Amino acid sequence: MTELIQLEDIRTYFFVRKGWFGRVPLKAVDGVSIDIDERETVAVVGESGSGKTTLGRTAIKLLKPVSGKIIFQGEDVTNNDENIKEFRRQAQIIFQDPFTSLNPHMTIEQIINEPMIVHNIDDEEKKKRRLKALSDVRLLPSEEYLPKYPHMLSGGQRQRVGIARSLVLEPVFIVADEPVSMIDASSRVEILLLLGELQKKYSMGIMYITHDIATAKYFTHNIGVMYAGKIVENGSTLDVLNNPIHPYTSALKEAVPDPDPNNRLRFRNVIPGEPPNPIDPPPGCRFHPRCPCATEKCSKEEPALRDISKRRVACHYAEKFLK
Ligand SMILES: Nc1ncnc2c1ncn2[C@@H]1O[C@H](COP(=O)(O)OP(=O)(O)OP(=O)(O)O)[C@@H](O)[C@H]1O
Ligand SMILES: [Mg+2]
């Protein structure tokens, strides 16, 4: 397989005010390396605040990393904006909230046309692509949806419009940031399966961001588990779901997500404690204060992400958890 996008040791910091100290770095993404091949889908999973959205936005250059490299189709695009317009066409994002990501004053036709106007696509081609995109996301008969406004649609239908909008520019890479967490539970699986279908049909690479590791099984090939700005486990979806090695991955697998999207602490009852403050993460392994298996070594030495059993795991005791 050919690599589509390679993220190499990406660090994305926000500089935030902290009392007398002035501005301090909030290390939202702190040394992440992950590859996505052409036609491959990767789930990025982790609790709220682990840096998933920041990583996804960095990958499509909506945020600039303080260090690290973004290699897109073999080319280092980290600081190179020469072909940014073409990059913006090829790399799209589907947002979490279909209620706020669609302009309520625009019709579906205008919403789907917008990116095509930016990219100077002629009227005939626009018409062809918007009908095709709407039929791809199963909003049929497509003509009937064009004059509607977002408020006339259900949450699931709105997210389908969001997906159609991201498809019309024929991208090769999509970041889908919690695309189903705000919609009705009954439509979630359907929309995830649809994403998987479209990914195959159009040979796209997808970064699927989610707090619910169980949903990765619907269409992803690989999983990267994030904790406090770092990847703690990265491997094939089957391996990671069936036989998690890192104690944090195991805990996420056991977690039953709270269906209430407004509940920011969706795993509180299952994984004791809170994720660390990214301004001041704990020394050693960042998960050690919450890890049931932590030793003194874990509180002192940071574990490297190393190859073990066909995947990468950042845990001093990974061998112990191998089944
Ligand atoms: N624009 C910003 N300015 C300052 N801090 C930010 C900004 N965006 C994100 N952060 C912080 O960076 C950290 C990672 O946030 P991020 O949104 O990437 O996490 P996430 O894993 O996507 O969480 P969620 O599941 O809640 O969406 C958090 O501590 C967050 O508060
Ligand atoms: Mg997020």
* Per-residue pLDDT tens digits for 149-192: 999 999 999 999 999 999 999 999 999 999 998 888 888 999 99
125 C-alpha to center of ligand 1: Å?
38
The DSSP letter of residue 319 is: G
Q: Which two tokens stand for residue 175?
A: 């970041």
Question: Which range (43-52, 93-102, 297-306) has the least confidence?
Answer: 93-102
Pocket test for ligand 1, best of 47, 53, 55 (most atoms within 8 A of CB): 53
- From atom 11 of ligand 1, which residue's Cα is the shortest distance away? 28
User: Mean pLDDT in the chain?
Assistant: 92
Q: Which helix (H) or strand (E) holds 190?
A: helix 185-201
Tell me the average pLDDT across 259-276: 64
270 C-alpha to center of ligand 1: Å?
22
Output the pLDDT for position 265.
47
Q: 54 CB under 6 A from ligand 1?
A: yes
Task: Report domain extents, the chain.
Answer: 3-321
Q: 230 CB under 6 A from ligand 1?
A: no
Does 3.40.50.300 match the CATH number of domain 3-321? yes
Output the pLDDT for position 97.
85
Q: Does position 60 have pLDDT exceeding 50, yes or no?
A: yes
The DSSP letter of residue 22 is: -
Rounded to an integer, what distance in angstroms lies between the CA atom of residue 195 and that of residue 87?
21
The answer to whether the Cα torsion of 303, 306, 308, 310 is positive or negative is: positive
Quote the pTM value.
0.94
Output the pLDDT for position 268.
46
Output the pLDDT for position 261.
55
Rounded to whole angstroms, what are the CA distances from 295 to 289, 292, 300, 314?
A: 10, 9, 9, 15
- Which ligand lies nearest to the CA atom of residue 49 in the structure? 1
Output the pLDDT for position 20.
78
- From atom 27 of ligand 1, which residue's Cα is the shortest distance away? 48
Q: Which two tokens stand for residue 4?
A: 């589509």
Pocket test for ligand 1, best of 18, 32, 48 (most atoms within 8 A of CB): 48
Question: Which range (61-75, 80-94, 192-206, 266-280) has the least confidence?
Answer: 266-280
Output the pLDDT for position 185.
83
The atom number, within ligand 1, closest to the CA of 96 reads 27
The atom number, within ligand 1, closest to the CA of 56 reads 18
Tell me the average pLDDT across 233-240: 97
- Which ligand lies nearest to the CA atom of residue 280 in the structure? 1
Q: Does position 264 have pLDDT exceeding 60, yes or no?
A: no
Rounded to an integer, what distance in angstroms lies between the CA atom of residue 317 and that of residue 304?
11
Tell me the average pLDDT across 65-87: 95
48 C-alpha to center of ligand 2: Å?
7
Q: Does position 308 have pLDDT exceeding 60, yes or no?
A: yes
pLDDT band per the 50, 70, 90 thresholds, residue 19: confident
Q: Which residues of 247-285 are buried (b: 16+ CB within 10 A; e: fewer)?
A: bbbbbbbebebbeeeeeeebbeeebeeebbebeebeebb
Q: Does position 1 have pLDDT exceeding 80, yes or no?
A: no
Q: Does position 129 have pLDDT exceeding 80, yes or no?
A: yes
pLDDT band per the 50, 70, 90 thresholds, residue 256: low
Q: 56 CB under 6 A from ligand 1?
A: no
14 C-alpha to center of ligand 1: Å?
9
